[in-house]
Amino acid sequence: MALPNIYIVACGGTIAGKAATEEDLTGYTAGAATIDEVLQAVPAVHQYARIRGEQFCSIDSSDMSEGLWLALAARVQELAGRDDVDGIVVTHGTDTMEETAYFLNLAVHTEKPVVFVGSMRPATAISADGPLNLLEAVQAAAQAETGRYGVVIVMNGTICSARFVEKTDTTHVDTFKSRQLGYIGLMQDGMPMFYQAPLRRHTYESGLSCSGCAALPTVVVAYAYVGMERWIESLVPQGVCGLVLAGFGHGRMPGAVWQSLQKAMKEGLVVVRASRTLGGAVTPVAEYEGTICADTLTPQKAKILLQLALLKTRDIHEIEEAFREY
Ligand X SMILES: NC(=O)C[C@H](N)C(=O)O
So which residues are the catalytic ones?
14, 94
Spell out, one character per residue from 31 to 70, where the chain touches ligand X: x when CB under 6 A holds, - when not.
-----------------------------xxx--------
The DSSP bridge partners found for residue 5 are 50
Spell out, one character per residue from 3 to 32, where the chain touches ligand X: x when CB under 6 A holds, - when not.
----------xx---------------x--
CB of 11 vs ligand X, minimal distance in Å: 9
Annotation: binding site: 61, 94-95
Rounded distance between C-alpha atoms, residue 282 and residue 107, angstroms: 24
CB of 104 vs ligand X, minimal distance in Å: 16
* Cβ atoms of residues 154 and 49 within 8 Å: no
The DSSP bridge partners found for residue 272 are 244, 292
Rounded distance between C-alpha atoms, residue 236 and residue 66, angstroms: 20
* Cβ atoms of residues 308 and 107 within 8 Å: yes
Q: Is 93 in the site for ligand X (CB under 6 A)?
A: yes
Q: Is 130 in the site for ligand X (CB under 6 A)?
A: no
Q: Which stretch binds ligand X (CB under 6 A): 82-90, 91-99, 274-282, 294-302?
A: 91-99
61 vs 146, which CB is nearer to ligand X?
Answer: 61
Rounded distance between C-alpha atoms, residue 140 and residue 98, angstroms: 18
For the chain, the straight-line distance linking the first and the last C-alpha, in angstroms and rounded, comes to 37
Phi then psi for residue 81, to 5 deg, are -80, -5
Q: Is 120 in the site for ligand X (CB under 6 A)?
A: yes
Residues 257, 260, 266, 271, CA torsion sign: negative
CB of 279 vs ligand X, minimal distance in Å: 24
Residue 325 amino acid letter: E
Total residues in contact with ligand X, by rule CB under 6 A? 11
Q: Is 95 in the site for ligand X (CB under 6 A)?
A: yes
Site residues for ligand X per CB under 6 A? 13-14, 30, 60-62, 93-95, 118, 120
